[in-house]
């Protein structure tokens, strides 16, 4: 029962992370598609809202847990689990997490090594700072200005946008699949533990 409880808690944590990730990835896809729609606009047509969408490209890789699962798989604890279907799910889960992390890492690489350098080449990062803070007024008034039009029409930037969009769509699909797998495993473990049906959220 301790093994089942440890697995269940880990899966429940992953489920919350995946639910948050699915919302985040959907939002990222919308932002990327919106950014692509600005390509070709005249400089005066690029609104403050569009500039805000373009400049905020930060990305935080997702952290999924698999310590309890690996502990079970790699020790004699695995043989204690009676359900063959649960054993199969547990055995495959770390591989699915690993595949998810590969795609997640690809997106982080695109942001850090492709989008960010070309963004910094054409934009003044003061645009990221809070507009209402007077401490940055001198930098805004006398510093180098951003050229959003040139950025949007740079091939390197366009390619990085497309690449990030494709990888984010892949990650969203993987996250939904992994969430489904997590829920199924959680249900099986919940029944073994005697938890009420609505326990896993």
State the pLDDT at residue 96.
93
State the pLDDT at residue 134.
63
Kindly tell me if the per-residue pLDDT of 53 is higher than 80.
yes
- The average confidence (pLDDT) of the chain is 88
- CA-angle at 195, arms to 194 and 201, nearest 5°: 150
List the single range of 48-62, 124-138, 174-188 with lowest mean pLDDT: 124-138
* Higher per-residue pLDDT: 133 or 172: 172
- Which residues have C-beta within 8 Å of that of residue 198, sequence separation ≥ 6? none
d(CA 38, CA 45): 9
- The secondary structure of residue 113, as a DSSP letter, is I
Residue 83: which H helix or E strand, with range? none
pLDDT in tens, 56-96: 888 999 999 999 988 899 988 888 888 888 899 999 999 99
pLDDT band at 119 (very low <50, low <70, confident <90, very high): very high
State the pLDDT at residue 77.
84
d(CA 14, CA 181): 11
* Higher per-residue pLDDT: 147 or 141: 147
Kindly tell me if the per-residue pLDDT of 10 is higher than 70.
yes
């Amino acid at each position: 029962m301790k093994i089942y409880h440890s697995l269940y808690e880990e899966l429940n944590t992953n489920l919350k992370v995946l639910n948050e990730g699915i919302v985040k990835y959907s939002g990222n896809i919308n932002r990327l598609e919106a950014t692509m729609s600005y390509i070709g606009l005249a400089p005066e047509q690029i609104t403050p809202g569009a500039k805000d969408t373009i400049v905020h490209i930060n990305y935080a890789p997702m952290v999924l847990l698999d310590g309890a699962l690996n502990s079970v798989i790699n020790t004699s604890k695995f043989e204690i689990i009676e359900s063959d279907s649960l054993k199969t799910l547990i055995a495959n889960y770390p591989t699915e997490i690993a595949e998810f992390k590969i795609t997640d890492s690809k997106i982080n690489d695109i942001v850090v090594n492709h989008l960010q350098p070309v963004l910094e080449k054409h934009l003044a990062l003061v645009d990221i700072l809070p507009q209402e803070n007077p401490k940055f007024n001198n930098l805004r008034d006398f510093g180098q200005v951003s050229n959003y039009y040139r950025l949007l029409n740079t091939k390197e930037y366009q390619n990085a946008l497309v690449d990030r969009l494709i990888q984010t769509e892949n990650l969203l699909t993987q996250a939904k699949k992994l969430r489904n797998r997590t829920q199924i495993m959680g249900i099986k473990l919940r029944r073994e533990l005697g938890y009420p049906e609505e326990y896993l959220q």
